[in-house]
Amino acid sequence: MLKENVKKQLIDGLNEDLAAELGTVIRCTYQAGKSFGLQGAELREILEKEVQDELRHASFLTDAIIDLGGEPTTAPQPFEKRDTLKAMLELDLKMETEGVENYKKHSQIADGLGDVELKVKLEEMAADEAGHAREIRRLLKGL
């Protein structure tokens, strides 16, 4: 594939990641507000901490897309509102797992373009999401 086409593919991929991050910020904020009781109080703390990571990811992606010559999206990926803590966490786990896979995939594309910084940063973000997924799995075990 031509280098320009690969770059376009990467910009599109990163824009999907950015939409997902923006959606996650909104989802976590919403879910924190809907977390009640003792378990809910614990979940709120974890979600509020996670939002900071996702905001950092979103701002890195915005800069990376601009640097590649693309236009960063400002539209968050919509999400399903769930009623119980368990159902919320199951959705979060699914989203985090998808995030890991997407960042790994896009890191490989960046590697193919010889962009070592982007390759490593996207891998680090895959690792961040994997850490979030682990934390959620631990929470789910107790529900």
Cα distances from 120 to residues 103, 107, 127, 134, in angstroms, run 10, 7, 10, 21
Round to whole Å and give the CA distance between 121 and 18: 14
Q: Is 17 near Fe ion (CB under 5 A)?
A: no
In the shown chain, the binding pattern of residues 78 to 117 toward Fe ion, with x for contact by CB under 5 A and - for none, equals ------------------x---------------------
CB of 25 to Fe ion, least distance (A): 9
For 70, other C-beta atoms within 10 Å of its C-beta total: 18
Closest to Fe ion by CB, 39 vs 97, is 97
Is residue 40 packed enough to be buried (19+ CB in 10 Å), middle (13-18) or exposed (0-12)? middle
Please pick, from the candidates 27, 54, 61, 136, the single residue that binds Fe ion as defined by CB under 5 A: 54
Round to whole Å and give the CA distance between 78 and 97: 17
Q: Is 129 near Fe ion (CB under 5 A)?
A: yes
Closest to Fe ion by CB, 7 vs 57, is 57
Residues engaged in binding Fe ion (CB under 5 A)? 21, 54, 57, 96, 129, 132
